[in-house]
Amino acid sequence: MKSVLYDPNVLKQLVDDGMIKYRLCSQQEADAFREREKQGKPLPHGIFEISVNRKNSYIEVDPLELTPENEQRIQSYLQVANSSKQIEYLSSIKQWLTFFGVLTILGLIGGFITICSR
């Protein structure tokens, strides 16, 4: 089974959340990795391509972070991070429902007043 770390979306989330240690590769290293990819060669172990400020770059992940022992810890973290985002989404939906509920009630009251004033 391939490590969850090799999924670019998961890796980006872990980097953004500060969950793994990494080093941003220098421009010379990045150029060498781009050339390597153009030749169809795989990136070295622990080197990943990510988007930094809308620009593709490469990072070197600490080898200790790539061990199978960290897999469970990282998966647990991702589950918690995703569930907290779902809670934020539910809270946002609740706020919109409240807004439209109040708007509907105000519309009904306005309509009732209009009908009664005739």
Q: Is the pLDDT of residue 91 over 70?
A: yes
Mean pLDDT over 11-23 rounds to 74
Residue 70 to residue 50: CA distance in whole angstroms: 21
Q: Is the pLDDT of residue 2 over 60?
A: no
| N residues, the chain | 118
Question: So what's the pLDDT on residue 32?
Answer: 93
Mean per-residue pLDDT of the chain: 77
Q: And the tokens for 29?
A: 């290293």
Segments in 1-118 forming alpha helices (H): 8-16, 27-38, 68-116
Would the pTM count as exceeding 0.75?
Answer: no
Mean pLDDT over 47-55 rounds to 71
Question: So what's the pLDDT on residue 1?
Answer: 38
What are the sequence ranges of the domains in the chain? Answer: 4-116
